[in-house]
Amino acid sequence: MFAAAMRVDIRLHDVHSLKEKRSIVKKAVAQLMRTHPVSVAEVEHQDLWQRTAFGIAVAAAHPGQLDRILHAVERDLRERSDIEVLSVVVSHLEEPM
C-alpha cells in the first residue's frame, strides 16, 4: 500500500463573506470526494474570506496510481474558475519503490 498527503493553498475570487467562502469550499470538497478516491478537509484559514487550504489524503495499491490520482485532483482544482491554486505540497507517507 502507498499513501500520500497533499496540501493545497488556495485564494478564492469574488468572495465577500465567510458565508460565500463556505459555499465555495463545500462545493469544491464535495466535487473532489465525488470524483476521486480521496479524503479532503479544510485545514487552515477558516476565519479568512479569500484564503483556504485543503488537506487531501489518498491511498493506492501502486505508486503510479497514487501519482495519477494526485495529479487529477490538482488539475481539477486548477480548472475551477472560482479559485486560484497558490501552492501544492505532496508528502509521501511511504516512499514509492
> Mean pLDDT over all residues of the chain?
92
9-18, 30-39, 86-95: lowest mean pLDDT where?
A: 86-95
- Spans of all domains in the chain: 2-92
Whole-model pTM?
A: 0.86
The per-residue pLDDT for 1 is: 85
Residues 54 and 15: their CA atoms lie apart, in Å, by 17
% of the chain surpassing 90 pLDDT: 78
Class of domain 2-92: alpha beta
The residues, ordered by sequence, that sit 6+ positions from 51 with a Cβ below 8 Å of its Cβ are 9, 10, 11, 12, 45
The per-residue pLDDT for 97 is: 56
DSSP, res 21: H
- Residue whose C-alpha cell is 469544491: 28
The per-residue pLDDT for 20 is: 92
Higher pLDDT, 53 or 1: 53
